[in-house]
Copies of this chain bind each other. A is one copy, B any other.
C-alpha cells in the first residue's frame, strides 16, 4: 500500500453506491483522522450516468466499463452495490481473483453463494466482508465476530426485515389489514413494488443464514432454513395478540442445542414487556445471547442509503488494516470454516408455544371437538377466547394459546381439525416467543 493510500472502486451507483461515494468524499478527513490512512475513491463503474446524484465526482474516474475497475492494479478494494445474483457474482469473483478485497451488502448472494466466494477469496489471499448485508447500519456482524468473539452463541433472535416490521407496526397502531398496510408501505418507499422476498420471510432468512454462519463458524445452507411470511396475519389476529398483552413480530431465530441448530423465520407473538416488542416501523434489532456475555441487543436502521453506506465504510476501513498485514499473515475468511458441518434440527422436532385462530360455525360442541384433537396429540391449552358471531355467514373466531408442544404434533392435530366441516380452511397458527 503506497503512502498509506487505499484506492477504492465502486461497482454500481444506485442508492447504496451513492451513499458509499458520499461518505468517501464528505468524510475523507474524518476517516484519515480515525485510521491514519487515506481513502481515495478512484473509479466508479455505472451504466446510467444521466441521473443527478448530488455528488461532486470531478476527481473520480467515472466509467461504464466494469473491467476497467476490476483490472486496475492500483485498486485495493472493490465495493459491489448492484445487488442480485448476476452479474454481481461474476464481478465479485473476478475482483477476488485479481487479488482485490471485496465489500458488498448483497445478502441474497452471500446467503446462497457465500461459500463459493469465500473459497475464491481464500485461494487468492484476499478477504470478503459484508457488514451491511445484515441489519443495515447496525454493526452486528462485527459484534458477533469480534466484539463477542469470546462467546459460544446460545441464541440470536430479532427483527431483520424492515419492510415487514413497518407493515406489522401499521397493522398494530392503525388497525389496518395486511393489504392496506402493504400498500401504505409501498407508497412510503418501505416496500418494493414486488414485495414477495420481504413478506415471505425470504429476506430475513437470507440474513439469518449469514448471522448463523458467523455465529456457528460454518456455512449454513439457506434452503434448509424454515420460513413463514406474514401474509396470513389479519387485523383480527393483531387484536387478539394485543388482548393477550403481546405483539406480532416477524422474528428470525437461531438457537444452539447439543444436537444441532434450530433456525427459523416466522411471525411470532412476543410479550409486550420484551424490548423487541417496542422496536417499530422499519427499524431492526437483534438479541444475542453468548455463554459469557449473557444477553445483548443491537438496534438501528436496517436499510437506506446512509446507514448501509456507513456499514460498508466500516468494512473498507477494516480491510485497509488488513492491507497493512504482511503477505501470508492475512486473516482471510475469519470466523467461517469452509469444511465444518453443523447439524440443523428439522422444524418437526422443534417445540413451541402456539397461537391458533380458527373461524368456526357458531354451533354447540365446536370447542370440545377442537380441544379434543389437541389433547389426543398431547397438546394442552393455556388460554382460550371465543367471540360472538358478527359475520353474516355465522363464522366466529376461536383463539387458543397452547403450552409447549412439538411442531409435528401440532401439524398432525391441525390436519385433523381443518377437516371438520364446521372449521374454515384458512386458520392461522403462530408461534409464541419464549426466552430460552
Contacts and interface: CB of A to CB of B under 8 A. Distances in A.
Contacts of A131: 147
A27 B324 contact: no
A334 B35 contact: yes
Interface in A195-232: 217
A33 interface: yes
B23 A314 contact: no
The copy count of this chain in the complex is 2
A294 B307 CA distance: 7
Given A142-B146, A331-B321, A294 B301 contact: yes
A30 interface: yes
Given A143-B139, A296-B138, A150 B33 contact: no
B139 A148 contact: yes
Contact of A146 (B150, B296, B298, B317): B317
Given A34-B149, A297-B300, A23 B317 contact: no
A307 to B, nearest CB: 5
Contacts of A285: 297
B307 A293 contact: yes
A299 interface: yes
A310 B150 contact: yes
Interface of A is mostly: mixed
Nearest to A297: B299
Question: How many A residues are at the interface, by size bracket?
Answer: 35 or more
Contacts of A326: 324-326
Interface string A268-295: 0000010100110000010000101111
A267 interface: no
Name the residue in A36, A300, A314, A329 with the highest tally of chain B Cβ atoms < 10 Å from its Cβ.
A300
A295 B306 contact: no
A12 interface: no
Contacts of A337: 33
B329 A310 contact: no
Interface in A16-69: 19, 23, 27, 30-31, 33-36
A333 to B, nearest CB: 9
A152 interface: yes
A251 B321 CA distance: 35
A25 to B, nearest CB: 12
Contacts of A145: 34
A233 to B, nearest CB: 24
B293 A146 contact: no
19 contacts: A23-B292, A27-B151, A34-B334, A35-B331, A137-B148, A137-B290, A137-B294, A138-B147, A139-B147, A143-B143, A146-B318, A148-B314, A150-B310, A294-B307, A296-B300, A297-B298, A297-B299, A321-B321, A321-B325
User: Which 6 A-B pairs give the minimum distances between C-beta atoms?
Assistant: A139-B147, A296-B300, A150-B313, A137-B293, A297-B299, A293-B310
Given A35-B149, A138-B296, A297-B298, 5 more contacts: A30-B150, A33-B337, A146-B314, A149-B317, A321-B331
